[in-house]
Amino acid sequence: MTSIEMEIRTRLDVIFSKYTPNTQLTEFKEELVADLMEAYQDFAKQDKSHDEALDDAFAQLGDIDIVLRDLSQTTKTDDTNRDDEPKKAPFIDISDDGFHVGNLHIDGRGIRLGDDIVIDGKHDKVQFGDWLHVDHDGARVGKKYYKFDDDSNMNQAHFDEDEKHTSAPTWAAAHHNAQLPISGKQFVFDYRDAIVNFYTNDKTDLITVDEYFNRDNARYFAHIEENDECVLISQGDHPLLFHVRTLINIGFPKNFDTGYITSINHSGRVTAKNLTLGTFDLVIHSGSFNGQQIKAKNATWEIHSGAVKADELTFEKAEIFGKSGSIKIKNATIPHAKISATSGSIQVDNFIGGGQFSANSGLLRLRITELTDDLKLHAHSSSLRVTAPATQNFNFDLSSSNGIVSIERHDNIHFDKNTTNYKRGFYGTNPQFTIDANVNSGTIKVY
């Protein structure tokens, strides 16, 4: 047994120690050992230390307590004689609130069969009884849990490089096109329920809007209004009783670097690729955002429920707020960043810049390539892990109200204060910027 495997098994022993051992738990642990060994090897190629790679491997597990609890309990058989239960009369109810036939309910909460949520669009979740649960983080089938590897898809765009955004998808029964002259006004794209793709078109001074629907009705087409301050493009009528598949492709000129764009999406997915704008704002109430190669002077992103993934961001100033869902960003240059999550994790890799990061409930993981300003980090009830620049000197002020603080550097480091839960000092000589981090309940690790 290698020393790596021994460390993995030791950590798993601590996690599993709260549960009564049985055959299922033992088999599950062996599967985790193999998976963690493989994950460690992958992270070891990109992380700078053994401890960092091991921590990252275990971070992929997420919260497995519910799986361990289920595996440790003996399945009980329900002996209740259901034949004695009174049968409910079937009913049909159709209203503005939804569609109900017997135990089948289709409404704003999703699709339910009895008490089981089959599809919950609000939280992007599929559930069937206690047997099948699928969400952003992974899938549980029976007693098996499978965690999704989001990082493997970070560089994959929703766009096909050869895709023609002006050509209709195969399912489209109707197409609506609009061309808007660029101006200094704010362009607001407000879609309640649609997939919206932002891309670069081949025009020099026109914004193109192509809408595709699987049902042919002109009342679905967008409404366009203009006033002294903005141009508003809002989604047309959307039927309540049946779903209309809707795809929106919005193209901007290649160098629209003064453009002020705001996208509002109430339920759906928004993607953006290869954009150069002045301001790029997002408001997503329930859905996800995936962005690549985006440049702008300013950006404000507000995601109430859903995940954010982005790669190759260049902003002078950016505020990114996630209320419920994860934020994952790679290769970002943001001199003045403010990134926060109320319920969910934050992971930023290859970051150049400074600013503020905060996570209320969820891991805050930051890999810094270069500091261009001070960095202030806060986590309320979770762990905070930072990979500091490899060749840049920096000050540090790290504190945890109820947890351990560690800094994994042994050479050229100077402490003004060095206790279990508080470390202050500097790395190198004559540092310019400071990493200021604190957590209320959790650990801090700086590599």
Give the model confidence (pLDDT) of 102-138 as tens digits.
667 676 556 766 655 566 554 456 666 555 666 555 5
Structure tokens of 147? 């965690």
- Please say whether the beta carbons of 59 and 384 come within 8 A: no
CB-side neighbour CA atoms (13 Å) of 158: 20
Nearest C-alpha neighbor of 231 from the set 239, 222, 244: 222
Residue 38 is predicted with a pLDDT of: 83
- The DSSP result for 157-203, as a single string, is -SS-TT--TTSPPTT-SEEEEEEEE--SSEEEEEEEEEEEEEEE-S-
CB-side neighbour CA atoms (13 Å) of 276: 6
Nearest C-alpha neighbor of 436 from the set 371, 391, 382, 381: 371
Residues 6 or more apart whose CB falls under 8 angstroms from that of 42 comprise none
Is domain 174-446 in CATH 2.160.20.120, yes or no?
yes
pTM: 0.71
Q: List the end-to-end C-alpha distance of the chain, in Å, as a whole number.
A: 27
Residue 88 is predicted with a pLDDT of: 46
Residue 109 is predicted with a pLDDT of: 57
Q: How many CB atoms lie within 10 A of CB 92?
A: 9
Least confident of 45-49, 203-207, 362-366, 405-409: 45-49
CA distances to 55, 334, 352, 361, 362 from 446, in Å:
12, 21, 17, 19, 17
Give the model confidence (pLDDT) of 427-445 as tens digits.
999 999 999 999 999 999 9
- Mean per-residue pLDDT over the chain, rounded: 85
Can you give the residue ranges of every domain in the chain?
3-75, 88-147, 174-446
Encoded amino acid at 351, one letter: F
- The DSSP result for 310-331, as a single string, is EEEEEEEEEEEEEEES-EEEEE
Report which of residues 79 and 338 the model is more confident about.
Answer: 338
Give the model confidence (pLDDT) of 271-292 as tens digits.
999 999 999 999 999 999 999 9
Residue 223 is predicted with a pLDDT of: 96
Residues 6 or more apart whose CB falls under 8 angstroms from that of 429 comprise 393, 412
Give the model confidence (pLDDT) of 233-274 as tens digits.
999 998 766 788 999 999 999 989 999 999 999 988 999 999
